[in-house]
Amino acid sequence: MEKRQQVISKLRQDLLAWEGYKPPAGGRSALLGLGELEQVFPNGVFPKNCVHELVCASMEQAAASGGFVSGVLSLLMGTEGVCVWIGRARRLFAPALTGFGVAPHQVIFISLHQDKDTLWVMEEALKCPGLTAVVCELREMDFKQSQRFQRAVEHSGVTGFVLRNAGQLSATASAARWQIRSLPSSGPDGLPGLGFLCWQVDLLKVRNGKTGSFRLSWQDKRFVPLAERVIREERQVG
Amino acid sequence: MSIWFRHLLTDGLARRRPELKDLPFVLAAVVRNKQVIIAASALAESQGASAGMAVADARAAVAELVVLDELPGQAAKLLRLIGLGCMCYTPLVSVDLPDGLILDISGCAHLWGGEREYLKTIVQRLRSAGFDTRAAIADTAGTAWGVARFAPKGPIIPPEGQSAAIADLPPAALRLEPETLDLLHKLGFRVIRPLLQIAPQALRRRFGQQLLLRIDQALGRKEEHREQLLPPLPYTERLPSLEPIRTRPGMEIAIERLLEALCLRLQTEGQGIRKAVLKCHRIDGRKVQAGITTTKGSHSVSHLLRLFQLQIDKIEPALGIELFVLEAIRVEAMETVQEQLWASARGLGNTALAELLDRIAGRVGADVIQRFLPSENHWPERSVRLAASLAEQPDAAWPEQPRPIRLLPVPEVIEVMALIPDHPPRMFVHKGRRHPVAKADGPERIGREWWQDSGEHRDYYTLEDREGCRYWVFRSGHYDGGDARWYLHGYFS
């Protein structure tokens, strides 16, 4: 039995390698710090030079996605990294990024009104090797466009995030499709007021990986998987 | 080379108002309570009205004379415009008031196949534009000036032929003051030749230093400095094209060649372009231009070429472009970077990032790119300011308090229900949807900055509804008897 398991996992590894997914050079140290969530990705590591797609159905979900992405950005950027945030007429409030461990002055905001310009700027930014990550708020993204993004990103090693409306969810070439929803915040037992930010993170699609649903909270500038106990408590309160 | 416009003012006016072309007209101004003709058109002149005459006398001579007011400063304006038009023949053009231009054509004439063709091209072009033009080419500006105005023929003076050329011209060809001319006339000097034979000391005693200076200038014994119309920029490249260029690939090749030459120079001198302009002279005499700016000095041909490629659509080649001029208007000293070593450096100083921003600015506009720095204001709308450059670092700390990730540009009115006055709301209604509040934090009072504007303070609460969505709401002013107004101002993640 043991042997068969080993053979299967070996075969899986080989398949990934043939499809161009090399195991990360640093082994476990290449992990980003998303906990067990990272296990769903190929080789068990958050894919960095890829485009991720976040689906936002409402203003609240857009805010939740923005927060989650900021958290991931802080893990990606470190202190030196630079990020480009392409948005629509300055909706993002820069000081909020400090709460997620991102220095707001390391982020360059580009506010555009037309999707045509946004797509062009996004593609150019993804090609730029000087950046760590690019976040882009889009209305629609079709398959062709996502392929172009993916091609741009493969040469430069930039991580791309697309925050898009949940309109027509057609197939795209993105590495993963996420949906982030806010969960009631969790605090130390029984204290009034808001606690740590919590999210329900659903991975709707992962290329060459597994889908999954996770609960994460943001505590002390890192992601912490949410224990089931806290959730139950919240439900009682609610 | 000197160009003389015999009827500059009147030709200029007739060009603007074609109905005047067939009428004898003069421009007049009031001098000592008398209307005096300043300039007369060729037709009026042939009928007997000339500059310096009183208008009343001219009216007697020419029956249908049209008299117009003279606009002061018009000659300088016209000459400047014509001079700019001549920039495609030579970069060194200077205005020679009141009625001429002086072009420094060293090294330019052979591009048009010799001095004769060069002169012919320019004169024909000016004549077809409606200006009565005469021009002359000589080694010195002084000789060319005199020959253009006074020599009946032979506009091209061979090298070292100045003294022979001006010998038979009247003394007025030396650009002298009217008093000196009067004196020379009285003494019987009809031509310049005898003046050249008199010892300089005698001339100086009799006519002053001015005459000697002018003779020396005409003969090339003394340098003459003129103010250029457009002072030459230190970093300029020119590319005349044999055939007029109309296509995009052609323009790209031209720009690339110019950039290669310019960047090589900049590289050796350790400079980088911040702002450059490409001027295209079209064969219809018009000029179109496109400019680029960079966030950081650059002398990389590929990068600058890409910036220009974004601008090519703005250049309208029409019938074709005959001359490309690339000018680096602003350059800055660059520290030499070892490209290979630092290409992987991340951070705001990265060259690739600066190039990306240049491209975005070139295509969409520089105002869409924003970088925020904290400003020392508590009022949320004013708590950030735009950074002036990529290198600017924050001079204040970012606020510590939790702030919403999305801030509404204009707070939206909400209906609120609270159990006790001054407590956080239990429920609020936004856009017709009820949000029962499960948890709340606050209030955080933010006072109005009274030195900037007046109004109520705000008490901010962070609310979380039962679904886990988090909001930033505030009450404007104190709670007094249900009159307080509540607003939604942002969304937390």
Per-residue pLDDT reduced to its tens digit, B345-386: 557 777 788 888 888 888 888 888 888 888 888 888 888 888
The pLDDT value recorded for residue A190 is: 64
The pLDDT value recorded for residue B418 is: 79
- Contact criterion met (CB below 8 Å) for B331 and B367: no
Question: B370 exposed, middle or buried (CB, 10 Å; 0-12, 13-18, 19+)?
Answer: middle
| B443: preceding bond cis by omega (within 30 degrees) | yes
Those residues of chain A that have pLDDT short of 70 are: 1, 21-30, 89-90, 166, 188-190, 227-238
Residue to mutate among A90, A93, A235, with most B CBs inside 10 A, is: A93
| Domain spanning B236-361, CATH class | alpha beta
The pLDDT value recorded for residue B16 is: 78
Contact: B407, A91; criterion CB under 8 Å: yes
Residue to mutate among A56, A76, A112, A182, with most B CBs inside 10 A, is: A182
- Contact criterion met (CB below 8 Å) for A218 and A70: no
| B200: preceding bond cis by omega (within 30 degrees) | no
In order of A88, B23, B78, B132, B425, the CA distances from B42 in angstroms are: 64, 10, 18, 9, 90
Across-strand partners of A225? A216
The pLDDT value recorded for residue B337 is: 55
pLDDT exceeds 50 at position B121: yes
pLDDT exceeds 80 at position B97: no
Contact: A182, B470; criterion CB under 8 Å: yes
- Contact criterion met (CB below 8 Å) for B331 and B274: yes
- Contact criterion met (CB below 8 Å) for A99 and A127: no
In order of A138, B23, B253, B480, the CA distances from A56 in angstroms are: 10, 76, 46, 39
Per-residue confidence band for B128, with pLDDT thresholds at 50, 70 and 90: confident
The residues spanned by each domain of chain B are 2-72, 138-219, 236-361, 406-492
In 3D, which of A129, A51, A75 has the Cα closest to residue B347?
A129
Specify the CATH number for the domain of residue A9: 3.40.50.300
Distance between CA B81 and CA A188 in Å, rounded?
79
Q: Which residue has 């956080």 as its token pair?
A: B424
Helices A143-156 + A115-126 axis angle, to 10: 30
In 3D, which of A199, A194, A192 has the Cα closest to residue A224?
A199
Buried b (16+ CB within 10 A) or exposed e, B163-197: eebbeebbbbbbbbeeebbebbeeeebeebeebee
Distance between CA B110 and CA B329 in Å, rounded?
28
The pLDDT value recorded for residue A28 is: 56
Give the domain range for residue A113: 2-237
User: In A, residues 10-69, which contact B (CB 8 Å cutoff)?
Assistant: 59-60, 62-68
The pLDDT value recorded for residue A129 is: 83
Residues in chain B closer than 8 A to A157 (CB atoms):
none
Report the number of distinct structural domains present in chain A: 1
In order of A86, B55, B57, the CA distances from B33 in angstroms are: 70, 12, 15
Q: How far is A84 from chain B (nearest CA, A)?
A: 10
Buried b (16+ CB within 10 A) or exposed e, B384-394: beebeebeeee
User: In A, residues 157-186, which contact B (CB 8 Å cutoff)?
Assistant: 181-185
In chain A, DSSP assigns E strands to 51-56, 83-87, 107-111, 133-138, 159-165, 176-186, 196-206, 212-219, 222-225
In 3D, which of B341, B302, B407, B352 has the Cα closest to residue A82?
B352
pLDDT over 90 for what percent of chain B? Answer: 0
The pLDDT value recorded for residue A30 is: 63
In B265-398, DSSP assigns E strands to 271-282, 287-298, 321-333, 369-374, 384-386
CA dihedral B389, B391, B396, B399 (to 10 degrees): 80
pLDDT, mean over chain B: 81
pLDDT exceeds 70 at position B72: yes
Query: Encoding tokens for residue B455?
Result: 């109004």
B240 membership: H or E segment, kind and range: strand B236-245
* Residue range B2-72, CATH number: 3.40.1170.60
Contact: B346, A130; criterion CB under 8 Å: yes
Query: Encoding tokens for residue A82?
Result: 């630079």
Contact: A131, B400; criterion CB under 8 Å: no
User: In A, residues 96-125, which contact B (CB 8 Å cutoff)?
Assistant: 96-99, 103-112, 117, 120-121, 124-125
Cα maximum dimension of chain B: 114
Q: Residue B288: which residues within 8 A CB-CB, separation 6 or more?
A: B279, B280, B282, B315, B316, B317, B321
Most confident of A212-221, B6-15, B154-163: A212-221
Backbone torsions φ then ψ of B338, nearest 5 degrees:
-85, 100
Q: For A92, what's the count of Cα atoms within 13 Å in the CB-facing half-sphere?
A: 31
CA angle B373, A92, B363 (to 5 degrees): 80
